[in-house]
């Protein structure tokens, strides 16, 4: 019987404490995918965009990106694979909403060679440039 949704709670928490928020884009997507596996009829991308849109941009200090693994009956944010296209899309949406905030790619399991990591960094920069060049931020 939650009286507040998670974004509303986080907005209130940031407002009352003066803290800033770390928004983990992949976690938001993984949560929406797991809700879908549990029977939610909502489109995970729409759910995530609505979640991001409900967060006060003034309170966002950092974005996190990562890969996840789909185990069939659950999706796990394992930080052990490339970032999927849907998360890149949400990252662009987040940047358009929150502006040029620092971003971190989390990869701490099944760590690949350096070139794969650099490819992800290049992709993050390209997505950020596209998002921020739209003039929305």
pLDDT digits (tens, 9 = 90+) for 19-64: 999 999 999 999 999 999 998 899 999 999 999 999 999 999 999 9
Strand arrangement, sheet containing 103-106: 21-24, 60-66, 103-106
Residue 57, domain member (yes or no)? yes
Residue 137, domain member (yes or no)? no
Q: Print the domain residue range for 59.
A: 6-132
Residues 81 and 44: their CA atoms lie apart, in Å, by 20
Torsion of CA 15, 57, 84, 79, to 10 degrees: -40
Residue 19, domain member (yes or no)? yes
Residue 22 bridge partners (DSSP): 62
Q: What is the pLDDT of residues 65-119, one digit of tens each?
A: 999 999 999 999 999 999 999 999 999 999 999 999 999 999 999 999 999 999 9
Residue 88 C-alpha from the chain's centroid:
8
What pLDDT score was predicted for residue 1?
66
- CATH number, domain of 28, equals 3.20.20.150
Residue 104, domain member (yes or no)? yes
Residue 53 tokens, joined = 């849109």
Residue 81, domain member (yes or no)? yes
Residues 6+ apart with CB under 8 A from 69: 75, 76, 78, 80, 81
- Report which DSSP code applies to 78: -
Structural domain count, the chain? 1
Residue 58, domain member (yes or no)? yes
Residues 6+ apart with CB under 8 A from 125: none
């Amino acid at each position: 019987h939650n009286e507040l949704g998670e974004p509303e709670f986080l907005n209130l928490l940031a407002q009352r404490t003066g803290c800033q928020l770390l928004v983990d884009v992949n976690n938001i997507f993984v949560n929406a995918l797991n809700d879908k596996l549990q029977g939610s009829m909502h489109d995970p991308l729409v759910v995530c965009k609505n979640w991001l849109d409900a967060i006060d941009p003034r309170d966002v200090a950092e974005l996190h990106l990562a890969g996840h693994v789909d185990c069939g009956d659950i999706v796990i944010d394992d930080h052990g694979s490339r970032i999927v296209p849907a998360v890149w899309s949400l990252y662009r949406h987040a940047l358009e909403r929150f502006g040029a905030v620092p971003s971190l790619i989390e990869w701490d399991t099944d760590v690949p060679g350096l070139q794969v990591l650099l490819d992800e960094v290049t992709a993050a920069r390209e997505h950020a440039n596209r998002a921020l060049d739209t003039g929305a931020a």
